[in-house]
């Protein structure tokens, strides 16, 4: 079964509102989680690295004030899209690495994504 | 600039045939090369991965071939099945940060009966 859970799986919101997406590691603790964005028929682009107990690290070109990340606990990271606009409509996916082994030997698990549509 | 290139963009293969997807990279710091499979509306799932000190890795019907000098690697799906129809992404990570997964642009595979 899935080891990383995202909620909601889809959301529709009006332009100007904020939307929160949750990412949970179900059976392991994740000090680091990752948020990706994927446009239709395109690849995943890493947006930011969420760190438990410290600030998120954002990739170049990603607005940190637009995409607020909070790693509230060792099993939960949230992404809030603030003042959403239609161009923010996308598929948002989180991932986390289960701790066994370390490095590339620990599998990187992805959530099933959240489809955001801003009208 | 695309750090990981992938081709073809889309691929149609008959059931039982071989599906071949090619990738290339430039950054010599990349040290880990996973392949992900993604079905519509789902997150990607790790299919198979390889390190550059190995030229080939096989898991069931899936084989990765790696050419370090050419900085190219490919995925072969033998005996392709309709259930293999999905998007496939090659990816790369630097040895200093395996968590930083850089995805290729993806290949949409359709296996027709």
pLDDT at A104: 55
A3 class by beta-carbon count within 10 Å (0-12 exposed, 13-18 middle, 19+ buried): middle
Mean pLDDT taken over chain B: 93
CB contact under 8 A, B101 and A42: no
Q: Report the distance separating Cα A106 and Cα A97, nearest Å.
A: 6
Strand A10-13 relative to strand A114-118: parallel, antiparallel, unpaired?
parallel
CB contact under 8 A, B106 and A41: yes
pLDDT band at A53 (very low <50, low <70, confident <90, very high): confident
- Reference A79, options A61, A59, A89, A93; nearest CA is A93
> For an interface test with B, which of A43, A95, A110 has the most B Cβ atoms less than 10 Å from its Cβ?
A43
Indicate the range of A19-33, A43-57, A78-92, A104-118 predicted with least confidence. A104-118
Closest chain A residue to B51, measured at CA: A104
Q: Report the distance separating Cα A67 and Cα A101, nearest Å.
A: 31
Convert the pLDDT of each residue in B3-23 to its tens digit. Answer: 899 999 999 999 999 999 999
Q: B54 CB near a chain A CB, below 8 Å?
A: no
Mean pLDDT for B72-78 is: 98
**Dihedral Cα A50, A42, A81, A11, nearest 10 deg:** -120
CB contact under 8 A, A108 and B99: yes
Q: B100 CB near a chain A CB, below 8 Å?
A: yes
pLDDT at A1: 47
pLDDT at A90 over 70: yes
Residue of higher predicted confidence among A43 and B12: B12
Provide, rounded to the nearest whole percent, the portion of chain B with pLDDT above 70. 96
CB contact under 8 A, B101 and A111: no
pLDDT at A70: 93
Give bridge partners of residue A61 from the DSSP assignment. none
- Reference A71, options A111, A22, A13, A104; nearest CA is A22
Return the structure tokens found at A98. 């289960």
Element containing residue A45 per DSSP (H, E): strand A44-51
Give bridge partners of residue A118 from the DSSP assignment. A13
- Reference B54, options B62, B64, B42, B45; nearest CA is B64
Radius of gyration of chain A (CA): 14
> For an interface test with B, which of A21, A31, A44 has the most B Cβ atoms less than 10 Å from its Cβ?
A44
pLDDT at B92 over 50: yes
CB contact under 8 A, A113 and B43: yes
Q: Tokens 């963009």 identify what position?
A: B9
Q: A115 CB near a chain B CB, below 8 Å?
A: yes
Given A6, A43, A112, which is nearest B103 (Cβ)? Answer: A43
pLDDT at A105 over 70: no
Q: Do B100 and B69 contact (CB within 8 A), yes or no? A: no
CB contact under 8 A, B42 and A44: no
Return the structure tokens found at B33. 């090369």
Q: Report the distance separating Cα B61 and Cα A27, nearest Å.
A: 30
């Amino acid at each position: 079964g899935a080891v990383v859970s995202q909620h909601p799986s889809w959301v529709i919101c009006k332009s100007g509102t904020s939307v929160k997406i949750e990412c949970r590691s179900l059976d392991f603790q994740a000090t680091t989680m990752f948020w990706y964005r994927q446009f239709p028929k395109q690849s995943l682009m890493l947006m930011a690295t969420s760190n438990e107990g410290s600030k998120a690290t954002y990739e170049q070109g990603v607005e940190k004030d637009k995409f607020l990340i909070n790693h509230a606990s060792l099993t939960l990271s949230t992404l809030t899209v603030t003042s959403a606009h239609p161009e923010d409509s996308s598929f948002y996916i989180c991932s986390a690495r289960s701790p066994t082994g370390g490095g590339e030997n620990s599998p990187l698990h992805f959530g099933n994504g959240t489809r955001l549509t801003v009208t | 600039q695309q750090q990981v290139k992938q081709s073809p963009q889309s691929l149609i293969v008959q059931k039982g045939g071989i599906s071949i997807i090619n990738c290339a990279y430039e950054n010599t710091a990349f040290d880990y090369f996973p392949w992900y499979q993604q079905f519509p509306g789902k997150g990607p799932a790790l299919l198979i991965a390889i390190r550059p000190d190995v030229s080939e890795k096989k898991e069931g019907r899936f084989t990765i071939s790696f050419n370090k000098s050419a900085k190219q690697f490919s995925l072969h799906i033998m005996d392709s099945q309709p259930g293999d129809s999905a998007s496939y992404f090659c990816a790369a990570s630097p040895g200093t940060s395996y968590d930083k997964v850089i995805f290729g642009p993806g290949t949409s595979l359709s296996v027709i009966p």
